[in-house]
A and B are shown apart, each in its own frame.
Chain A
Amino acid sequence: MAEMPVIDREKCDGCGLCISVCHCNILVLVDNVVTVVENKKCASCNRWCAQCELICPTGAISCPFEVVIEER
């Protein structure tokens, strides 16, 4: 399974902004805390859009990435 955005349940205040910007509809609120549901569309993307991380007011959701140098 492709890696999904990481959620810090303690920081999430359930505002739902991330859900409103998610293109792939992989985020839902469960007990007022955002939760990731597996979705083939998101898993098949070859890049993070990271909109959820950018909009989250409490920094509760993140899309971590590694920086690499392309081999030539």
Chain B
Amino acid sequence: MAVQVELLKSIPYFSGLSAAELDSIKEFVFEKEVETGEMILLEDEPAEALYFVTSGAVRVFKTSSDGKEQILSFIRPGESFNDVPVFDGGPNLASAQAVGPVVLYGIRNSDIEVILRSHPQVSLNVTRVLSQQTRRLVSLVEDLSFRQVIARVAKILLEYASDGTGPKLRLTHQEMAAMAGTAREMVGRSLKSLENEGAIRLERQRIVITDKEALREMAGVVD
């Protein structure tokens, strides 16, 4: 399918651009369809392109030498990944895998600079996006350094709770463990404790947050 200007417009990189500018950027964008479980990027491989998710979700993660995974984030529609290596010229920072069927928009390294030079607004948008990504990563460092596992699990539940709009993202114990930097057993125990505290209810294929305030308190989230 051809690249759609309407979808480009919904991507934060391209917000505030005129229809004519979006049309000219469209020429540099390619579409890529990826199947469930397919690897999109491998950590430390040369970076070839910057990607935006237009439908589905992508898991971005690091792998240790003994095979342990640390999930850095799930990328949802409108969000980008592989930004840093495209701008600093280094290899891919992390691996990326399709969670379900995914449609991506991509821009090759060589084309990024052309776009930035021709459209200063995009540079401003990129600064904003990279700042938000830095905030998220600092928050992850904070979680891994200072929060107990149960608090990390509570925070993950709050972050990934569906509000009924947008695509439904489904998590496994393994994925939650890889986000929280712990073992699956610890996630299982934490979920049971949260249920005993009355903050959540475990159902088949669903975790229902029954007391959001209690969960926020357990996660150590302050306004």
Contact = CB atoms under 8 A, between A and B. Distances in A.
B204 A47 contact: yes
Range for the number of chain A residues in contact with chain B: 10 to 19
Range for the number of chain B residues in contact with chain A: 20 to 34
A65 B188 CA distance: 13
Contacts of A30: none
B212 to A, nearest CB: 6
Interface stretch (A12-20, A33-41, A56-64): A56-64
Contacts of B171: 64-67
B170 A66 contact: yes
Contacts of A46: 203-204
A47 B191 CA distance: 13
Given A64-B172, A67-B206, A69-B208, 11 more contacts: A3-B204, A48-B204, A53-B184, A54-B173, A64-B170, A64-B171, A65-B170, A66-B171, A67-B161, A69-B163, A69-B212
17 contacts: A45-B204, A46-B204, A48-B202, A53-B173, A54-B188, A62-B173, A63-B205, A65-B203, A65-B207, A66-B205, A67-B161, A67-B162, A67-B206, A67-B207, A68-B206, A69-B162, A69-B209
Interface of B: 157, 160-164, 168-174, 184-185, 188, 201-210, 212
